[in-house]
Each structure stands twice: as structure tokens, then as C-alpha cells.
Structure 1
Amino acid sequence: MRTHRIAGAAVAAALLAGTALAPSALAAPPAATATAQSAVPFTSAGAVRAADGGHTLSWASPAASVAVTAVTSPDATTGVALGTAPGTGSLAVPAGTLPEAGRWYFRLVPDGGTPLVVADRSMGLTSARNFRDIGGYRTTDGHWVRSGLVYRSNKLNSLTDAEQQRLVSQRLTLDVDLRNAQERHDDPDRLPAGVRYQVADVVSLSHGIRFHDSALMTLAEAIAAGLFSGSSDLGQSIGYPFMVNFVGADYAFHDLVTAVATNNSGATVFHCSAGKDRTGWGTAVLLTLLGVPRATVEADFLASNQYTGDPEAVELSWLRAAFAEADQIYGDFDTYVREGLKLDAATVATLRAKLLTG
């Protein structure tokens, strides 16, 4: 694998514009990991919060029955009993059923097997609409990503006192900022006291302007692919492959994954400005490492169109271009993780042990 030093200002500008604006051995946990327990008997499950505060829960499993309890912490085992329903079924929780809380989780307890905790992914923050949980997804081998431990978001410069208190109630202890120096200066995060702040600048030049493969070739191919796909934003079509090709980005995403894996004091949030591009690729890396199917990873990526209120916030071709760049440079995603991000097996195992259940 070649590493090129590029001095051309045009290439650096393209990189900065593209990122600053706006299943294999590593991708699926092996059976021998610490997370391999008896499989959770749920093939699907989820919770959706309505505008009036009510919730609709649904699930599918081979169990005969499922008991549902509302809890205010993903680790709680007791709370408000909501009833029992068939092993594959649904349950409506009308507005007013539950008192006000920072966030409600729902513990699904089958008559045989391990319980599963689900929640609406959105934290409902007006000042950070794209603040949402990356948990609640099922992996290819039947595990589930734990809820309430890792969040993705847009910038956090306008959090109100009430919103900050809501994050405190969810035991948020670490904020990883993927933005560049200018963005951090213009819109500094407003965080609750006690939340540790860490920078993982995706476009930092502190490691030089270096690329794993020909930057000019990547630029040309990205433009061609963007034009062919009908991309609405060629800057983003260029930026996504460069998040894989640019050496500086490797350091940022290495630090992000390591921070998530090793934060043992509470929940972590990571974000950029809009919470959709740098954050989108970071989330895709994390979920793929956990063994979440590519189709689910893509659906989570596209959900930014819903949460931001902009139906054209992201395009699937952008995310696919980043995955394709990883395949082109490294041969597969696992090698990208190992040789590009320099993540060792111990860190990946720690991440899975922490975030997977079932």
C-alpha cells in the first residue's frame, strides 16, 4: 500500500471542502467473544415515540409471550409494568401513561431467553435534532447493539439548560468532536458540567497532507462517480472517499472508536456540524465493526434526512463511495480497520463486549 505526500493546494482544498462542510472477520463478532451468550429471541424490535409523548412498541420473536416494563435507565430491571403480549406483537403506550422522564426505555422480557431493551432513538432535542442513539440494531449473528450508551449528533453549541439536564439524566460523560478548528471556534460545544470533551478532527493537517492512494486519482474517480450517480453535491461525493484515503482522517476515526470502546464511566456522544457526513461515516464504521448488516447501516445513514428535516441531507451513493474506497485501497473493510485505522483486535473486542448484548 502506497502513501503519497501531496503538496497541491487544489487537492487539499477539495478534501477540506468535501468533509468540513456540512461482512467479514472484523465486521461480525466471532462466536468465541465475550458477547456470545444465548441468543436474544427477538428477530426485530423497536419503539417509536409520537409527538404527543406516547409510544408504540413492536417486536417479533419465537417466544410465547413477552412482558413489557417501562424503565428510565437501560440497565434498570424494575419500573412501570405495562402488560404482557404475544411473542410477536405490539403494544401502545398512550400519552400520559408514563410520567415525565429524561427518556423512557422499554424492557421486553420473553418467557424464555434474554430480555431486550428498546427505546425511540431520538433524544428529542430541539437544538440538536440529529442527536440520536446508535443502539437498538440487530447484528447478522443475532446480537443487539445496546441502547443508551452511544449517541450521534449534530453540533452541540445551543443546548438549553433543560436539554443539558436531559443528557445528564442519561449519564452522558464523553463528547467526541469531529469538527475542524474553525468550526469548533465559531460554535463551541455547550456541555453539562462533568462531561469530558475530546477532539477527533477528521480534516486535521497535524499529520501532514498525506494519502494512502493517489489523491488526484481519487478526486477524478469521485467526480466521475458523482456525476454518474446524479449526486446533488459533488463536494460530498468527493469528501466521502477522502475520509478513507486521507491519513489525517484515520487518526480521527481511530480515536473515535477507541474513545467509545474505553469510556467506562457513562454514555458517549460524537458529532460534527450537521451530524450526517463525518458523523455518518463514523457511525457506519462503528456499526459495521459490531456486525450490523450493511442494509441497516445504510438505513441509519439515510435517517439523517428525517431527523434534520431535509430530505436531501444525505445520499446513499456518498456512503457507498466511502465503503468502495476502503475496498479499493485495502481490499476489504477488515483490512481498512486494521491497517488504515490501526485498530487492534483487543480494542475491537472491548467495543463488542461493551456494546453487544445477547
Structure 2
Amino acid sequence: MRVPRRTSTLLVTVLLAGTVMVPLAPAALAAPATAPSAARALAPSAVPFTAAEAHRSATGAYTLTWSSPAGQVVVTASTDPNATSGVEVGRGAGTGSLTVPAGTLASGARWYFRLTPDAGAPLTVAERSLGLADADNARDAGGYRTTDGHWVRMGVVYRSNKLSRLTAAEQQVLLDQHITRDVDLRNSVERSDEPDRVPAGITYQVADVVSLSHGLKFHKDAAATLAAALAAGLFSGSDDLGQSIGYPFMVNFVGADYAFHDTLTAVAANQGATLYHCTAGKDRTGWTTAVLLTLLGVPRATVEADFLASNTYTGDPDAVELSWLRAAFAEVDYIYGDFDTYLHKGLMLDDATIDALRAKLLV
């Protein structure tokens, strides 16, 4: 269904709201007096890889590719993303590839591949998809290189569509990934109609993007945002004007600020891996991931590629359109002037939380 219930709910909110506005930082969670850049310099990355990926084929074979200035790279496999050793599955040149034939590694497990160069620090990569038939858009949000040469860790943050149909075996997959927190971005009707099915040991948290619990408030004139979004959607030739409108309002609507704040704070503070999701895992979840990756320093082109990957994982080539994501980023610039100010004043993230996210997720 092209227009999910989230979009229709948000549109009703917009139409009812008129031009209710609030200051950039809601008083209950005011931004810090000083807001230094979220992109403060980290220590230079010791990881020499400039590209690295792992893909699992339908037959169970793995294909690994990497690029680095190293002379040789040794590849070991483990089911633990934090393992410093494992089963050696091959080695190659500093820039190379490796195929691990089906049957080499036990099926039914998620395998992480540690690329150890002869000079520099190792890097761990994995197939992004969790392979859940009943949550086909469940995937790792890591494995991307930042503009300053760091990498986003894999096995720490996952994005997904709804978890209401998971089998017992699929629930075990979540436990096997050491997921200890499930953040639900859906509205109350969605949660009631299709409640999450997660096993004991995973804490459930609601971060409703369209909740009115913080009032019916917007940072800028809602009518102006509605008109601009509609015009932009028509100009871009969008196949779903509801989504063209919905994305800017995920930035303008104050209630959404709290949801994204709570989600990112959960990622920073949670002991274990965190999974967040909506219904299709592409819109609310897509924007959450775009914000997180941008905060970490992942280049915009990579952020956009991750967003568009929902078209592949869901099997729907029209699941998302790039114009929608760009409309949300444009709204950030319109309201706040830059992304860093959005993090501090819109999402009310303090420097300690931003630093914790970077420390936890970057290598």
C-alpha cells in the first residue's frame, strides 16, 4: 500500500494544526547553551580500508570485496561481531575479493568477516540483511565508511519493518544478534493492530513519530510547509504525494522531534544492540537512519543509497523515492540552517549523547 496509515495520520494533524508554532527547542528538553559541531574531530582512523562489503547469495555462498593499501589481507569468520579471531576462510591482496563457497560455514547463523591487513587495524563486515522472511527489510545499519575515514560498526544498530509476524526461529535471530532493545516508531493504531512479537530479553520501547502527547506544534508555518511540499512533489513527479508531504513534516512536527530524540538516545545508552522500526521500515525508519548516519559523518551519497535500498529489500522498486528524503533534508536547512543545529535544537541532543553515539558506532 503506497500511503501507509502513518502518512494519513500526519496529514490529518497538519490540516487541523493551521499555523501553530513553537521555538526551535521545546522548553521541556532545551538545547545546551553552547552547541559545538557534532562533527568534532576524532582521532585519525587506523582502519586502512576504503571499501569493503560482504554479500550472501541465495545458495549460501559469501562474496567479499575490499580495497586497501595493505599488501595482504587475511579473512576470518565468526558469529560474533566483536571476535578478534575466527575460522580463516582465505586471504588475498590489499585490494581484492574472496568467495566462500556454500557449505563452508554453518547455515542458519549470521557470519561476520574480519578483514585483517598486514598494516593497520582490522575491519569487520557482514551481509546486511538478517534474512527474515517475515521482516524482509530488517538489516544492519552499519558497514559504511565516513568522510573522515572511519567506519560504522556492524552488529550494533538494526533497522526493520514491523515485527508482528516473527516466528519463534526469527525471534531467535534477534537474540543471536544480541539485540536487547526494540524501538517502535509506529502510531497507536498500528501498534494495537499488529503488536510486535519479540522474545523475553528484548526491552520494548515506543517512540511514536506522530504522537500528540507533546501537543499539536510545529517549528514553522505548517500551511507553508504543506504548500511547499506539495509543489515539490508535483515538480519531482512523485508517485506518492502523501509521502512527499510527510517527509518534511517529520522535521517540522515537534512530536517527531521527541520520537527521534528518544530513538537516538536509546541507541547511545543501550547495553547491547538496538533495533528500531516502523511498519514498512522505509519512511520513519528511513529518516531515522539518514539522521543517524549523517550524524556519524557518512557522506550524503551513501546515506541516499542506504535509503533507496528499501526498494530492493522489500521487492518493491517504488517503495521509496529519493525526492522524499531530499525534501526532509531541505526542511532541515529551511528551519535550522544546517544539520548540526537540527541535532541540537530540533532533536535536543546534547554533545554527550552525540559523542556517545560516535564512540559506540565508529571504528
Alignment of 1:121-270 (within 5 A): 121-264=128-271, 266-270=272-276
Q: CA RMSD in A?
A: 1.6
1:112, distance to aligned residue in structure 2 (A): 0.8
* Number of the residue aligned with 1:28: 39
Residue 27 of structure 2 corresponds to none
Q: For the residues of structure 1 that align with 2:313 and 2:118, how far apart are their CA atoms?
A: 35
Q: Kindly tell me: are residues 292 and 155 of structure 1, through their superposed partners in 2, closer, same or farther at Cα, counting changes over 3 Å?
A: same
In 2: Cα distance, 1:347 partner to 1:313 partner: 32
Find the counterpart in structure 2 of residue 288 from structure 1: 294
AA partner of residue 220 (structure 2): D
CA displacement 1:88-124 (0-9 Å, x = unmatched):
0000001001112420000000001100000010000
Deviations 1:67-107 (A, max 9, x none): 00011111012221112100000000010011124200000
Helix, strand or coil for the counterpart of 2:102? Answer: coil
Q: Distance in 2 between matches of 1:189 and 1:200?
A: 14
Task: Please state whether the residue corresponding to 1:283 is helix, strand or coil.
Answer: helix
Contact 1:15 1:242 in 2 (8 A): no
**Alignment partner for residue 321 of structure 2, among 289, 292, 315?**
315
- Contact kept in structure 1, 2:14 and 2:222, CA below 8 Å: no
Runs (5+) with no aligned partner, structure 2 = 1-9, 18-35
Change (3 A) 1:26 1:56: farther
Are 1:29 and 1:290, in contact at CA under 8 Å, matched by a contact in 2? no
Q: Is the contact made by 2:160 and 2:285 (CA closer than 8 Å) also made in structure 1?
A: yes
Amino acid at match of 2:76: T
Contact 1:123/1:131 (CA < 8 Å) preserved in 2?
A: yes
1:355 paired residue number: 361
| Equivalence for 1:12 | 13
Instruction: Tell me if 1:102 matches 2:109.
Output: yes
1:33-55 per-position Cα deviation (integer Å, ceiling 9, x unaligned): xxx25421000000011001110
Within 5 Å, give how 1:7-86 maps onto structure 2.
12=13, 26=37, 28-31=39-42, 36-86=43-93
Counterpart-to-counterpart distance in 2, 1:10 and 1:297? 26
Q: Which residue of 1 aligns with 2:341?
A: 335
SS at match of 2:103: coil
Question: How many percent of aligned residue pairs carry the same amino acid?
Answer: 71
CA distance in 2 between counterparts of 1:157 and 1:230 reads 33
Question: 1:106 is paired with a residue of what secondary structure?
Answer: strand
Q: In structure 2, the residue corresponding to 1:162 is in which secondary structure? A: helix
Q: 1:13: Cα distance to partner?
A: 5.4
Structure 1 Cα separation of the partners of residues 169 and 241 of structure 2: 39
Length-normalised TM-score, structure 2: 0.90
Distance 2:60 2:89 in 1: 16
Equivalent residue in structure 2 for 1:276, among 264, 276, 282? 282
* Per-residue Cα deviation, 1:13-60 (whole angstroms, up to 9, x for no partner): 5699xxxxxxxx7463513xxxx2542100000001100111000000
Inter-partner Cα distance in structure 1 for 2:109 and 2:173: 5
Aligned to 2:4: none
Q: Where does residue 350 of structure 2 map in the other structure?
A: 344
Q: Distance in 2 between matches of 1:144 and 1:14?
A: 42
Equivalent in the alignment of 1:111: 118
Q: Distance in 1 between matches of 2:195 and 2:47?
A: 41
Q: TM-score, normalised by structure 1?
A: 0.92
Unmatched runs of 5 consecutive residues or more in structure 1 = 1-8, 17-24
How many residue pairs end up in the alignment?
A: 337
Q: 1:80 to 1:315 in 2, by over 3 A?
A: same
| 8 Å Cα contact 2:49-2:69 kept in structure 1 | yes
What is the distance in 2 between the residues matched to 1:235 and 1:199?
Answer: 24
